[in-house]
Structure formats: C-alpha cells, structure tokens
Structure 1
Amino acid sequence: QADTGIDVHLRQQGGFQLCLSDVEMAEESHRLGWLRDAFAGDYPFELLDATQLRARLPGIGPDVVGGCFSPMDGHVNPLKLLRSLYAACQARGVKLINGHHVEAIDTGTKGFELRAGEQRWAARQVVLAAGLGNRTLGARVGLDVPVQPN
C-alpha cells in the first residue's frame, strides 16, 4: 500500500490453526519455526496444548489435540492485492510473462534461462509464482520449496 497507494484491505486480527494429532502439532511447530527463522525471529506465535486452546476457544471439538495462534494471520482483498502487486512490479521494471508452462530453468553465470516450448527468456532474477508447481521448479535450481496443498 505504501508503494502503490492501493488499499488492499488488510485485516490482521490473528488466527488459530487447529491440529487433530500429535503429528500435525509437530508439523505445525516445524512450519512456524521455519517462518520465524525466515523472518529473523520476527514472526510471533504461540503453540497451545488442548487445555490452553480450549481456554481460548471453548467450542472446539474433542478431537483437537492442540494448535497455534499467530497475530500475523489475517486476510486481504485478493483482487486489490493482485492490482497492488502488479502496479508495484511495473513501477520497478519487472517484466511479467503469463500463460506459459515453464518446462525448464537453467542457471548460468548471468542468471537464468527459462524455457517454455520454443520460447526462451533470460533473466538475472526470477520469481517463482506457480503455486504448487513451485516445488518442481524450485528443485530445478536447487531450492527446497516446501509448498503443499491445504
């Protein structure tokens, strides 16, 4: 919003993630730890056992073994966010190329080469914006992209 003046309607009131097993609790703890590390410690969250969680959410069911709360959770208007991101990218000279299935990404001394069919693009930097496809694309350049379907 500061860069584009577009109000994305951010509402950041925090949110709970409920876990139905100890395995889910361990996975959630790992995911949140990864986020905290990625943000240099600036990603607050609380891991809550079942008793702590029920004190804050008394209506949860008996199958919930625990969960977490993060004040960072929130939501935006996705259409406003898309417009804002597009405007910010344009203002920085980013070239956006849509509608192509990237089959390969190669690294070289000057950056990257992307291939989609007969099309080729060279770039110093690349943003992977393929959703779940980022796992495959990231692996092609040595990145572990831990995305998974919800």
Structure 2
Amino acid sequence: MDVIVLGGGLMGAASAYFLARRGARVTLIERKRIGSGATVASFGNIRRSGRYLSQLPLAHRSLRLWGEAEKMLGRDVEFRATGHIRLIFDEGSLADMRAYAEAARPCGLDLEEISPREISARFPGLGPDAIAASFSPRDGSGNPRLIVPAFAEAARKLGADIIEEADVETIKHTSAGFLVATAKGAFAAECLLNTAGAWGARIAAQFGEEVPLSARGPQMGVTEPLPYRILPVIGIWTRDKDYGAYLRQVERGNIVFGGAAERVSVDLDPGHAAADPMRLPAQLRAVARLLPAIARVAVIRTWSGCEGYVRDMLPVMGRSATMPGLFHAFGFSGHGFQLGPGVGDAMAELITTGGCETPLDDFSVDRFSHNNGA
C-alpha cells in the first residue's frame, strides 16, 4: 500500500512512522520544515485531565505510546510523567472539576482532589490562594522540538520518504488513487492522509467536505533558568479565559508558560503569528496566580505559531465521507500534542486494516453537514 501524508507536524510524522512500521510505502510532504507549524508553538503538555470525554480513549492510547517513545524512536524526547496539577480558586470551578472527575472515571481517568494543605505540602510555592486542586499523576510533558524530528527520522529508517520545503500545487484523484504535484515533483499513491493542521480544511474542501476551521496563534513564553524544583505541569480550572494560564519547568530550569492571552487570527499565507509584547504583562499576572515567584523572573523569549481550531473544538479524524482512499487527521484545536502518537498509530491502523480499535466516530468529517441538515 502506498500512502501520501500531507503535513509534517506531529500528527503527520507519527502517522508516517506507524504506517511505515505496518509495511506501507509512505511519502510525507511538508510545505516548510518538519515540525515547524502548530507543533513548534506547542506548550508540550501531555495531559488527559480536562479533555473532552470522547477524546479519552485516544488520549489513553497515546499516553502508552509516549511512555514507549524513547525505546521506540531511539532517542530521548523528554517525556516525563511528572503529573498534572490543576489549581482551583473558586467554588464554581471546584464544582466543575468534581463533575468532570465523576464523568471521566468510567472512561479510565482518575483524578485526585487535593486540599490547600496538601498543595502546600506536596507542591510548595504553587497557588497560595487555591481552595483545591486536581492531580493526574501519570500525565506530564514532552519536548515539541524533539518529538517530530524523532518520528520523522524513525519513519525514514523504515523506508519512508520525507519531502520538506515542498509547496503543494495541485491534488488530483485518479483511477489509481491520488496525484500530488509539488514544487519538488509529483507523487502518486492509492491513499492520501490529510494531516495539514490549520491548512487541513483547505484540502478537505477540495473534495467537497467543508470544515468550520479558523487559524489562530497562541502566545507562549519562557523565562531564564532557575533551580529545577517544579515537577508537575501546572494549569487551572476556570471558566474565565483571562485566568486560563499554565506553566511547566523544564529540567534545564526554564519555566515555559502560556494561556491567559487571546489567540490571534492567523492568515494562512504565510501562516504564522507573532507574539504581542503588549499582552505579556496581563499574561504574567495570570501565571503568577499559579506561581507567585515568576513575578521576579526575567522572560527571555516569547513566540507564537499557527493552530487550527474547529468550531466544536474536536478534531477531524477518520475516513473522508466523499472520497475513497482519503483520510483526515487535523484541527486539534490547540490540544493535540498529547494525542499525537495515538493519532498516528490509530490512523495507520485505520488505513492499513480498514478498522480502528479506538472509537473515532465523534471526529467524523461529515458531522458538520449533519448539523446543517444536509
């Protein structure tokens, strides 16, 4: 089986690897460099806590693969299962957390509720005003700049062709499958996997599948290095987007942070957003609610990127509803990093066997036409 994968982010690189591991002949085509789109803008959060319930089976599958990544790919991608704590500052958010924890338990996710005294004892320096927190001990973080090249190189060793800096000019369906013309030549295959991220809706539209997707850029930042003391990833339960901050400390000591800043619209040509320094003070005030000590630390870099957000915040994943041999995996709406290995594994299973052990029905591309009464 020949498969063309369009898009060289985490979803595309992981799919190329797992497809090649299953014996498919794979060509991955990336318009820029591997891992230069949404992945490079990622926070690196590997969390199941707070996910849509329909995503949890895929998240469980992916977490298992994150745990195997170093052995599987032959390099350390800095996956650390240090846990994920989400602080709570008001009674409404506490009720939200408890309701979510109860609903998620049958789906295989157990969240531990932590009191203020336990927060202080187990995670000193975090959220002094928090009234509670949830803790998911098996979650953690990984390095977005390492995981995509690792998957791409492992796929290449299995025989996959990785074509970078190749703008796609045309995509045609032929009697034999698909013909993709690029700036670096034409490529043919019987199957086409659309992992083009924020550009994925454009590809789907060529085959009559309309997806309500907008391109947006997050605002991320990183501080100077400090002594390494903060082990878990830290987030918040809140209904207020102005307080939706998150942070983690890497082993080199730097604190990576994000959230609490409106994601800006991105023009897909050229497809990149710049961080806005005017938003940084308010963002840091929200982050300091989680970790007051960050107020005394220098920020050394900020950045943004380009992520694809679907209207209902769920990805598009599975078979095309209009074209045999076409598959989609895009639109992960800013929370796809944890899912990446699981997405690649699930899509490879679906393409090569015709079925998938992980339920994907909620992510079907035709859900939007159904909603419109079509």
Q: TM-score range by the shorter chain?
A: 0.5 to 0.7
Residue-pair matches, total = 127
Contact 1:113 1:123 in 2 (8 A): no
The answer to whether the aligner puts 1:128 opposite 2:194 as a matched pair is no
Contact 1:128 1:138 in 2 (8 A): no
The answer to whether the aligner puts 1:18 opposite 2:117 as a matched pair is no
- After TM superposition, the structure 1 = structure 2 runs for residues 104-119 of structure 1, keeping only pairs within 5 Å, are 104=210, 111-113=319-321
Contact 1:44 1:71 in 2 (8 A): no
Aligned mates of 2:137, 2:130 — CA distance in 1: 20
Alignment-derived partner of residue 311 in structure 2 = none
The answer to whether the aligner puts 1:66 opposite 2:93 as a matched pair is no
Q: CA deviation at 1:18?
A: 0.6
Q: CA deviation at 1:82?
A: 1.9
Aligned mates of 2:153, 2:84 — CA distance in 1: 29
Over the aligned positions, Cα root-mean-square deviation in angstroms equals 4.0
Q: CA deviation at 1:3?
A: 3.5
Identity %: 20
Q: Secondary structure at the match of 2:328?
A: coil
Alignment-derived partner of residue 199 in structure 2 = 100
- After TM superposition, the structure 1 = structure 2 runs for residues 16-95 of structure 1, keeping only pairs within 5 Å, are 16-33=85-102, 35-38=104-107, 41=108, 43-86=109-152, 95=193
Deviates more, 1:125-134 or 1:20-29: 125-134
Q: Tell me the alpha carbon deviations over residues 46-100 of structure 1, each in whole angstroms, 9 at most, x when there is no partner.
A: 1123343334345445531100122123111112222244467786987355362
CA pair 95-126 structure 1, distance change in 2 beyond 3 A: closer
TM-score, normalised relative to structure 2: 0.27
Q: Which amino acid aligns with 1:29?
A: R
Alignment-derived partner of residue 4 in structure 1 = 73
CA pair 4-52 structure 1, distance change in 2 beyond 3 A: closer
Q: CA deviation at 1:32?
A: 4.4
CA pair 133-56 structure 1, distance change in 2 beyond 3 A: closer
Q: CA deviation at 1:16?
A: 1.8
Q: CA deviation at 1:142?
A: 3.7
Query: Which blocks of at least 5 consecutive residues in structure 2 are unaligned?
Result: 1-68, 161-190, 212-318, 337-361, 369-374
Moved over 3 A (4+): 29-38, 57-62, 84-97, 121-125, 137-143
Query: Which blocks of at least 5 consecutive residues in structure 1 are unaligned?
Result: 106-110, 115-120, 144-150
User: Greater strand share, 1 or 2?
Assistant: 2
Aligned mates of 1:54, 1:48 — CA distance in 2: 10
Q: Which amino acid aligns with 1:112?
A: S
Alignment-derived partner of residue 117 in structure 1 = none
